[in-house]
Amino acid sequence: MDALDGNAIGGVLHEVFGTEMTAATATCASCGATGPVALFTVFLRAPGIVARCRVCSAVVMVIVSAKGMNCVDLRGLARLDAA
Amino acid sequence: MAGTAVRRRLTWQVATVAAVFDETATVRTIELGAPDWAGHRAGQHLDVRLTAENGYTAERSYSIASAPGEPVAITVQRLDDGEVSPYLTTELRAGDELEVRGPIGGYFVWDADAAASPLLLAAGGSGIVPLRSILRHRARSGTAVPARLLYSVRSLPDVIYRSELDQYAASASVTYALTRQAPPGWTGHRGRVNAALLADVAWPAGRDPVAYVCGPTSFVETVAEGLVSLGYPPPQVKTERFGGPGGP
Amino acid sequence: MSPISRGFHGRRSEEAAAPGRVPPGQYVTHDFPVLSAGPTPHVPTGAWTFSIRQAGEVVKSWTWQEMRALPAETVTADIHCVTRWSKLDTQWEAVSIDTLLEQAGAEAAFVLAFSDGGYSTNLPIDDVTGGRAWLAFGYDGEPLDPEHGGPARLLVPHLYFWKSAKWVRGLELLDQDEPGFWETYGYHMYGDPWQEQRYAGD
């Protein structure tokens, strides 16, 4: 199963952040690459959602939805600016 | 409204199936009545959530097939080993309820009133769905933006929206790439989209075009890389990956 | 309150066909779903090593040839994924973790398995010894496919399958239980499928 991209998590991100996020600009904390959230490499078929930097593959975002809550880890991002 | 960030809560709402229409043997369009629908932009998608009697839920995302201003509709391709698509394409019928969340997306969107650049649309398999929304929006808005569509499918019967795309031929060039089977006498492209076909079909980079590429991940990567090689600035190549295999 | 989707059944459970073999909340699948938190690593066996580490030092390490020279066995096991699928009677070719730990000669209370690509998962030492855990290099009579964790993965069938780390490259021996990748994000530290220990606090 190939990876998807950040478009695929647009719904959960909108739920978490309260606004459209696929066009938001993200900076990878590992390599500094900057680009839209839509370009993250996204792995949906896992116990949670893992988004990786398209350039260096470092984990930029992890979302685990369980027990009615979304747990979001953004430590892989140096910066995230909603459009 | 184009280009502004609309801060609005995105919640699940119950929609009613207004009509279903079989586009091909394995593809169905589902038109929805959603009283709280806020309208959508061409290229956006929505999430669908199904709930079984035992409480089990499944969620999937589907691109919106209709243009802004039209009733919201999705087009679903049936995957043989799928869990949700067989239900949506064979069991679901008019009058049934469907939980939806949307519209979603602010990157893979095209607005007719903000557009001037020539449009290149590249679809692999069911990747045609959001691009059809763009083409319908373009036609309804009466904009003079030139457009070209490159559509890669396994064979001609797999083309979704065939008669509609034929109607666009006058105002937008449509090129098919048949990857598995071609009819006798086919003079069009056979096999997967390659650099030569892209060079032939794509707007020259000098026209400052914008491209929307959608379909299985491998198709999107090949075409996006090819367009960048032709000189398209990466920010002007918008991509939406549907995963795969399962494409042409 | 979500409306029930008329006629939608999701994956049908075949629990009736295998009473007592399918933990609560699971359904039986006949395919082998591939779940991953990242791209599939491709490591040639010539470059592969497996290490037991403790306090920042390598206690013992094996090359592929050295590992394959160890006694191996065929393991038949039911496996249970936290995403609710279970697969019965899976067959593996594997070296017992007991063998590896005995050769390393070190002791600890917990392990943290680490993998190519950065994945990790934690287990108590009792759950990787006593014939309960293996280093698996073959599946269904063939070399383990990279998609399923090859060249070698951890195999701990009595716990949820996220504990059976794919692309495993070693075990870190620890005095304290430390959360691995999914455990850090709220998944259960232990993960017993028969007690449905999916998330922390279950």
List b or e across B122-158, with b for residues whose CB sees 16 or more CB atoms inside 10 angstroms.
bbbbbbbbbbbbbbbbbbebebebbbbbbbbbeeeeb
C148 in any annotated domain: yes
Inform me whether the C-beta atom of residue A29 falls under 8 Å from chain B C-beta atoms. no
- pLDDT for B247 beyond 60: no
- CB atoms under 10 Å from CB of A10, counted, come to 29
Give the Cα separation of C90 and A51 in Å (integer).
30
Integer Cα distance of A63 and B34 in angstroms: 29
* pLDDT tens, residue by residue, B87-120: 999 999 999 999 999 999 999 999 998 878 999 9
The residue assigned the tokens 């666009």 is B168
Q: Tell me the C-alpha distance between B99 and B49, whole Å.
A: 5
* Total of domains in chain C: 1
Q: Please, what sign has the CA dihedral across residues C103, C105, C109, C112? A: negative
Please tell me what DSSP assigns to residue C133: -
pLDDT in tens, C134-180: 999 999 999 999 999 999 999 999 999 999 999 999 999 999 999 99
Which domain does C97 fall in, by range?
Answer: 26-32+47-195
Is residue B76 a contact partner of residue B104, using CB atoms and an 8 Å limit? Answer: no
Q: Under an 8 A CB cutoff, do C186 and A45 touch?
A: no
**Nearest alpha-carbon partner for B19 in B134, B119, B105, B98:** B98
Q: Is B235 exposed, middle or buried (0-12, 13-18, 19+ CB in 10 A)?
A: exposed
The torsion angles phi and psi of C14, rounded to 5 degrees, stand at: -105, 30
Calculate how close chain A gets to C5, using CA atoms only, in Å: 20
Q: Give C7's contacts in chain B (Cβ within 8 Å).
A: 87, 91-92, 96
What is the amino acid identity at position C173? Answer: L
Residues in chain A: 83
- DSSP E strands: which ranges in chain B? 13-22, 27-33, 45-51, 57-63, 73-77, 97-104, 119-124, 147-153, 172-178, 189-190, 210-215, 237-241
Interval B72-80 mean pLDDT: 96
* Cβ(A26)–Cβ(A74) below 8 Å: no
Please check whether residue C168 is in contact with residue C149, taking contact to mean a CB–CB distance below 8 angstroms: yes
Q: How far apart are CA B200 and CA B178, in angstroms?
A: 16
For an interface test with A, the pick among C2, C181, C196, C198 (most A C-beta atoms closer than 10 Å) comes out as C181
Report the pLDDT value the prediction gives residue B202, as an integer from 0 to 100. Answer: 98
Q: Which domains does chain B have, with CATH numbers?
A: 13-103 (2.40.30.10), 112-241 (3.40.50.80)
Q: Residue B93: CA atoms inside 13 Å, Cβ hemisphere, count?
A: 3
Mean model confidence pLDDT for chain A: 93
Q: Is residue C105 part of a domain?
A: yes
Q: How far apart are CA C160 and CA B47, in angstroms?
A: 29
Largest CA-CA distance found in chain A, in angstroms, rounded: 34
Query: Cα B77 from chain centroid?
Result: 11
**Structure tokens of A72?**
């979001």
Block residue for tokens 């592969």: C48
Q: Which band of pLDDT confidence, cut at 50, 70 and 90, is reported for residue B33? A: very high
Q: State which amino acid sits at residue C92.
A: W
C residues 31-70 closer than 8 Å to B (CB): 31
List the single residue in A with minimal CA-CA distance to B218: A2
Decide if pLDDT at B248 tops 70.
no
Contact state of B107 with A22 under an 8 Å Cβ cutoff:
yes
Look at residue C17 and tell me if it is in a domain: no
Closest CA to C84 of C12, C27, C34: C27
CB contact under 8 A, B243 and A11: no
The tens-digit pLDDT sequence of chain C (202 residues) is: 789 999 998 876 555 556 689 999 888 888 898 999 999 999 999 999 999 999 999 999 999 999 999 999 999 999 999 998 999 999 999 999 999 999 999 999 999 999 999 999 999 999 999 999 999 999 999 999 999 999 999 999 999 999 999 999 999 999 999 999 999 999 999 999 999 999 999 9
Average pLDDT for chain B: 93
CATH number, domain of C103, equals 3.90.420.10
Go through C125-148 and write b for each residue having 16 or more CB atoms within 10 A of its CB, e for each that does not: bebbbeebbbbbbbbeeeebeeeb
Tokens coding C128: 């990787």
Q: Which of C2, C7, C11 sits opposite B99 (nearest CB)?
A: C2
Shortest distance between the Cα of A60 and any Cα of chain C, in A, equals 11
The verdict on residue C90 lying in a domain is: yes
Helices (H), ranges, C34-167: 64-68, 97-104
> Could you tell me the two tokens for B173?
């060039």
Report if residue C67 sits inside a domain.
Answer: yes
Q: 0.95 cut: is pTM over it?
A: no
Q: What's the Rg (C-alpha) of chain B? A: 18
What is the Cα B93 distance to its own chain's centre?
22
pLDDT tens sequence across B3-17:
344 456 788 999 999
Nearest to A2 among B61, B239, B244 (CB): B244
Task: Check: CB of residue C171 under 8 Å from CB of residue C128.
Answer: yes
Contacting residues of C for A43, CB less than 8 Å apart: 36-38
- Give CA B117 to chain center in angstroms: 20
Distance, in Å, from the CA atom of C6 to the CA atom of B93, rounded to the nearest integer, reads: 10
Is the confidence at residue B211, as pLDDT, over 50? Answer: yes
What is the Rg, in whole angstroms, of the alpha carbon atoms belonging to chain A? Answer: 12
**Encoded tokens for C54:** 């403790």
Distance CA C14, CA B86 (A): 19
First-residue to last-residue Cα distance in chain C: 24
